[in-house]
Amino acid sequence: MSSLDDLYRRVIMDHYQKPRNKGKLDEAEGLTINLNNPTCGDSISLSLKVEDGIVTDAKFLGEGCSISMSSASMMTEAVKGKPVDEAIKLAQVFSDLMQGKQPEDDSLDLGDIEALSGVAKFPARIKCATLAWKALEQGVRQANQS
């Protein structure tokens, strides 16, 4: 195992054990998206608050494997405070990463998200990693409609 894999594994376990932005927003405060990944048994409830085109708050509750939960933690951390456009762009970049592609737009700071890039090598786990991002995409789409 390379030291990079080792570093990535440590970042993933850190988010799994100490999830960022864990919780739920009041119904009046934001919208909630519930999604699950039956192939692994992961479930997520993502709360988003979108104001004036900015994701002002993001929280999640969920149960599942270390990949799905750490991905949700990293995602909320990455999109909080960002314009909706940028959050969507990050979701696209993440989807590219999961397909083993290098992101076209390298101006985005992926931060901890990069630690999940190794998941691309394990097709069965990709759905675990993308669950939170799918919830994000649904959430911002709903927010844009209301």
Could you tell me which stretch among 17-25, 39-47, 70-78, 84-92 binds Zn ion (CB under 5 A)? 39-47
Could you tell me which stretch among 19-27, 62-70, 90-98, 134-142 binds Zn ion (CB under 5 A)? 62-70
Q: Contact at 8 Å (CB) between 44 and 68? A: yes
62 touches Zn ion (CB under 5 A):
no
40 touches Zn ion (CB under 5 A):
yes
Q: In whole angstroms, how close is the CB of 73 to Zn ion at the nearest point?
A: 14
- The nearer residue to Zn ion, 40 or 143, going by C-beta atoms, is 40
Q: In whole angstroms, how close is the CB of 62 to Zn ion at the nearest point?
A: 10
Cα 61 to the chain's mean position, in Å?
A: 12
Distance CA(128)–CA(42), nearest Å, equals: 7
3-state secondary structure 47-115: EEEEECCEEEEEEEEEECCHHHHHHHHHHHHHHCCCEHHHHHHHHHHHHHHHCCCCCCCCCCCCHHHHH
42 touches Zn ion (CB under 5 A):
yes
Instruction: Name the amino acid, one letter, at 13.
Output: M
**Half-sphere exposure in the Cβ direction for 13 (13 Å, CA):** 6
68 touches Zn ion (CB under 5 A):
yes
> Which position among 84, 128, 129, 136 is part of the footprint of Zn ion (CB under 5 A)?
128
- The nearer residue to Zn ion, 40 or 54, going by C-beta atoms, is 40
Beta bridge partners of 136: none
Binding site for Zn ion (CB under 5 A): 40, 42, 64-65, 68, 128
